């Protein structure tokens, strides 16, 4: 399949942890992961840009659907993704769920219950776990923990980006009875104990889901386990940094250095052997 410069740049610009961890996949898997990420990140960028590029997203979705129906997209992101989908056996409903969640970002500002948040997460993250499971050719019983890993990683992103999302008029984290102003920096800094309790509850939820996902690593071949375990470790690290000082989320995006990611990946590789 190969990887294009455009796909690499989209991936590199979109995620420090995912990109650098994915460099440790075997070449064939790495190329497929880059193709997947370029597709999902392109869609995400349309709805996350300021101002939002809603019409471009809707066109992207329309071109994808037409291509799925047999009309070539002539697009360096969509066409490779469709080839990947056919090669790996992606369910079309997974892609539709993903695009549904992205489209929701054009209109939905806040999620008031965990159930609402989880419906969004299914499309935005759990199906990414399904895609990855198919890319890695994992057995069917690996799908639930793969989805859980996507869920957990998405949730820690919500926690990490709570202030940034608030500035965009979004709130993905349920309030659970907290003051609606809790996600605003001025209110959080004026009520640090309240903010710590708010994030602490969500961090506990993240850790519970992440531990459940880690139990599914046993399904992953050893040679492919290192990149995924590394990414998981980096999200645990992020959660620990936020737990130590919750208000750090307003100081900038909490993310590990590239050197930390590389050292952890090398440790995982040294601890196992190719399957």
Q: How many domains does the chain have?
A: 1
| Residues of the chain above pLDDT 90, percent | 89
Provide the β-strand partners of residue 110. Answer: 171
Q: CA 103: distance to chain centroid?
A: 16
Encoded tokens for 88:
């790996």
CATH number, domain at 72?
A: 1.10.600.10
pTM more than 0.85: yes
Provide the β-strand partners of residue 171. Answer: 110
Boundaries of domain holding 165? 5-271
* Per-residue pLDDT, 274: 39
Q: Which residues of the chain have pLDDT under 70?
A: 1-2, 272-275
Longest dimension (CA), the chain: 56
* Per-residue pLDDT, 15: 83
Per-residue pLDDT reduced to its tens digit, 168-227: 999 999 999 999 999 999 999 999 999 999 999 999 999 999 999 999 999 999 989 999
* Per-residue pLDDT, 272: 67
**CB within 8 A of 74, min separation 6: which ones?**
none
Query: Alpha-carbon dihedral of residues 70, 2, 24, 97, nearest 10 degrees?
Result: -10
* Per-residue pLDDT, 273: 40
* Per-residue pLDDT, 1: 60
Instruction: Give the angle subtended at the CA of 81 by the CAs of 142 and 266, to the nearest 5°.
Output: 55
């Amino acid at each position: 399949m190969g990887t294009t410069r455009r796909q690499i740049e989209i991936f590199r610009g979109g995620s420090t942890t995912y990109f650098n961890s994915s460099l440790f996949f075997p070449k064939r898997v790495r190329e497929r992961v880059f193709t997947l990420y370029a597709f999902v990140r392109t869609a995400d960028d349309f709805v996350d840009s300021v101002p939002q590029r809603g019409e471009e997203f809707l066109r992207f979705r329309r071109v994808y659907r037409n291509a799925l129906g047999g009309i070539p997209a002539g697009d360096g992101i969509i066409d490779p993704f469709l080839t990947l989908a056919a090669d790996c056996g992606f369910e079309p409903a997974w892609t539709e769920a993903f695009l549904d969640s992205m489209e929701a970002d054009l209109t939905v500002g806040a999620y008031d219950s965990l159930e609402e948040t989880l419906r969004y997460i299914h499309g935005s993250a759990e199906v990414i776990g399904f895609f990855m499971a198919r890319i890695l050719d994992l057995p069917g019983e690996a799908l639930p923990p793969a989805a859980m890993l996507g869920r957990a990683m998405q949730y820690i992103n919500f926690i990490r980006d709570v202030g940034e999302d608030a500035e965009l008029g979004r709130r993905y984290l349920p309030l659970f009875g907290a003051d609606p102003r809790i996600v605003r920096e001025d209110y959080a800094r004026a009520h640090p104990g309240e903010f710590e309790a708010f994030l602490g509850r969500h961090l506990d939820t993240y850790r519970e889901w992440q531990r459940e996902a880690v139990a599914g690593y046993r399904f992953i071949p050893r040679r492919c386990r290192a990149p995924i375990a590394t990414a998981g470790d980096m999200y645990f690290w992020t959660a620990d940094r936020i737990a130590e000082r919750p208000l750090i989320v307003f100081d900038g995006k909490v993310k590990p250095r590239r050197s930390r990611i590389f050292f952890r990946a090398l440790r995982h590789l040294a601890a196992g052997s190719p399957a």
